Structure 1
Amino acid sequence: MITGKLNWDVLAKLLKNNQGALRPEVERGGSVGEDCAVVNLSGTKLVLSTDPVTAAANHTGRIAYHINLNDIATTGAKPLGILVTVLAPPQGEISDIETVMAEISEEAKVHGVMILGGHTEVTDAVNRMVVSITALGVMDPGEKVLWTAGAEEGNGLLVTKALALEGTAILAQDFPERCREVLTEKELDEAKAFARELSVLPEGRLMRSFATAMHDITEGGILGALWEMKTASGLGFEIEAAKLPLRPVTRKLCAHFQLDPLRLISSGSMLMAVKDPEKALAELTAAGIEAHLIGRMVKEGGVLLEEGRRILVDPPARDEIYKLYDVEEGSASILPEKKEKPCE
């Protein structure tokens, strides 16, 4: 098997065939494109999500915290607590685990989130630290849960902040010397600081009454997130390349490492389908949150408009970031695969 997420077809089959016992309290469980499950407990809704961090060697705790709380944010729920599992390799140090937990605790205090428990273990089953978090959020009985499947034809598609923030931060933190080949020290520090912008909790709570669907942009980048929204909703998307927000240092690093920024892990940016893009943009701007209208939901297909061309977009096989770790381990080339093909 290759590194990265399982492809959509395999994942859908696994989920369909392995649900365990069905429970009446569960409003909806996980599925392709949906990162959260919702359990109704006498009116109060408990929202749950879980994810590990496997593609970062630095600031693993901070990244693990945000990718899980961001899943909670996509539903419009308020974060409550987290369970943390840390698997550390034998060659590591206790200080490594202390650093991870301190990062998680620091971020949790900011958002009023409690660390409820978890598991910590040193094991030769991993060769670098793996951190997995399960996040819990709550919603009041009258609040509506937003699902990725809720996107509607004609909805405008917004993204917040900039794309590939997480991927850029990982490149700067894990490969600083190679980054210095194209970045100044100031630019390198800027790229590392993107790790401080990974939360989408503010826009998640703000947009819960404006959006029909929200999805945090993680593995597979913006194109992966769009495909997950497309799959969940049964619709299609059409986006404009010129409107996709990428910061200059991200463009520099992706060109240098030969990575596609549109398929690069992008925690820190929320994808939102909204009925009234102008009103949603005004609300986000008033709250000091950068946002961009990049396209719309359509009846079917996935199209990227670029310099007068209509390019059909295929689902990404895996995130671009893994190509670098394959190279470091001597098992693959970093030359990116070209997945798009022109429309017929």
Structure 2
Amino acid sequence: MKVGKLDSYELQKIIDSNRGIKREDVRIRGGIGEDCSVIEFGDFECVVSTDPITGSENGIGKLAVHINCNDIASCGVEPLGILVTIMAPETSTLTDIKTVMEEISEECKKLNLEILGGHTEVTSAVNRMIVSCTAIGKGKKNSAVSTANAKPGDHIIVTKKLGMEGTFIAINDKFERVNKFLTEEEIEEAKGYIENISVVKEGRICGQAGVNSMHDITEGGVLGALWEVSSASKCGFEVNYDSMPISEVTRKICNEFCVDPLRFISSGSMLITCKDGQKLVDLLKKNSIEAAIIGNITKEKTIIIKDGKEEDVAPPDSDELFKIIN
């Protein structure tokens, strides 16, 4: 099998036929494009999501916290705690594990999170450290935003720069190679991307603004996120390549490793759909969050306009990151 996410069609079949029972107190169920489940608790609801970090060795604790809290933020609510599972290879030291937990704790302090529990073990089943977290958020009843609520005519907005996570990982894991073609200033810029990896702030703002849908852009990049949103919402999209916010550093990394920046892991960017995109962009910029309109939700077609030509967008495959780290 290919490294990375399973084929969307095959994964959907596995999920749909293996859900246990359906409970009435589950308002939103996880699925393709829907990374969170929302559970009703009287006047409140609990939002839960889980994800591992498998594609990075450096900054793994930070990334593990943020990719999971970003899922919660994509529902428009704030995370309150996480559970942490660490699977360490036999080559690990106690210091390695301690360092990861210190990273996790430091990021939790920044986001006002409590570490609620978890599991840690050394095992021959992995050849490098794996960190998996489950994040939990709390909101008022019916407040959580669903990925599956994008509507034809919506503007599509992305925040910050695409490919930040992938660029950060490439800089750290392939430093000797990137040091040959990037300047010292560009390397420092890319290393700083880890400090902008959270979308909790924009998630909260967009939730309060009443957007139709949100999805944090992770494995599969912006095109993968667009496919998941459109599949979950049973609609299409039309986006413009020239409108995609990509930094020059990321472009250089992608050119060097023959990577498509639109299918490059992009934690730190949020994909949002709403009726009045410019109003939302102005609101985000007022709160010091860079944002750009990249296209519209459509009824059926899934296309990107590049060099004046329409190109069909295929379902997400393995993230382009694996071309770099494998």
Query: Are 1:115 and 2:111 counterparts?
Result: no
CA distance in 1, matches of 2:210, 2:166: 28
Amino acid at match of 1:160: T
Shift of 1:266: 0.2
SS at match of 1:225: helix
Counterpart contact for 1:164–1:266, Cα < 8 Å: yes
Amino acid at match of 1:243: S
Query: Are 1:205 and 2:204 counterparts?
Result: yes
Residues 25-104 of structure 1 correspond to what in structure 2 (within 5 A)?
Answer: 25-104=25-104
Q: Which residue is equivalent to 1:179?
A: 178
CA distance in 1, matches of 2:146, 2:42: 21
Q: Which residue is equivalent to 1:169?
A: 168
Counterpart contact for 1:211–1:272, Cα < 8 Å: yes
Q: Which residue is equivalent to 1:18?
A: 18
Shift of 1:70: 0.2
CA distance in 1, matches of 2:108, 2:301: 39
Superposition misfits of 4+ residues, deviation over 6 angstroms: none
Q: Which residue is equivalent to 2:231?
A: 231
CA distance in 2, matches of 1:312, 1:29: 29
Counterpart contact for 1:210–1:280, Cα < 8 Å: no
1:89-113 CA-partner distances (Å, limit 9, x unpaired): 0001111111111111111111111
Gaps in structure 2 of 5+ consecutive residues: none
CA distance in 2, matches of 1:95, 1:271: 37
Counterpart contact for 1:172–1:192, Cα < 8 Å: yes
1:125-154 CA-partner distances (Å, limit 9, x unpaired): 00000000000000013x522111100000
CA distance in 2, matches of 1:261, 1:136: 30
Amino acid at match of 1:198: I
Shift of 1:27: 1.2
Shift of 1:43: 2.1
Counterpart contact for 1:216–1:269, Cα < 8 Å: yes
Using the size of structure 1 for normalisation, the TM-score is 0.93
Shift of 1:182: 1.1
Tell me which moved more, 143-152 or 80-89.
143-152
Which protein, 1 or 2, shows the higher relative CO under an 8 Å CA cutoff with sep ≥ 6? 2
Shift of 1:262: 0.6
CA distance in 1, matches of 2:284, 2:3: 36
Q: Which residue is equivalent to 1:160?
A: 159
Counterpart contact for 1:176–1:188, Cα < 8 Å: no
RMSD over aligned CA atoms reads 0.9
Gaps in structure 1 of 5+ consecutive residues: 327-344
SS at match of 1:211: coil
SS at match of 1:139: strand
Counterpart contact for 1:182–1:253, Cα < 8 Å: no
Shift of 1:7: 1.0
CA distance in 2, matches of 1:210, 1:240: 25
Amino acid at match of 2:149: G
Amino acid at match of 1:79: P
Q: Which residue is equivalent to 1:252?
A: 252
Counterpart contact for 1:214–1:270, Cα < 8 Å: yes
Residues 250-289 of structure 1 correspond to what in structure 2 (within 5 A)?
Answer: 250-289=250-289
Q: Which residue is equivalent to 2:189?
A: 190
Q: Which residue is equivalent to 1:125?
A: 125
Q: Which residue is equivalent to 1:297?
A: 297
CA distance in 2, matches of 1:42, 1:76: 19
CA distance in 1, matches of 2:93, 2:185: 31
Amino acid at match of 1:231: S
Q: Which residue is equivalent to 1:147?
A: 146
Q: Which residue is equivalent to 1:329?
A: none
Identity %: 47
CA distance in 2, matches of 1:276, 1:204: 17
1:68-105 CA-partner distances (Å, limit 9, x unpaired): 00000011112110000000000011111111111111
SS at match of 1:70: helix
Counterpart contact for 1:210–1:275, Cα < 8 Å: no
* Aligned residues between the structures: 325
CA distance in 2, matches of 1:69, 1:128: 23
CA distance in 1, matches of 2:309, 2:159: 25
Amino acid at match of 1:286: K
Counterpart contact for 2:4–2:318, Cα < 8 Å: yes
Shift of 1:294: 0.4
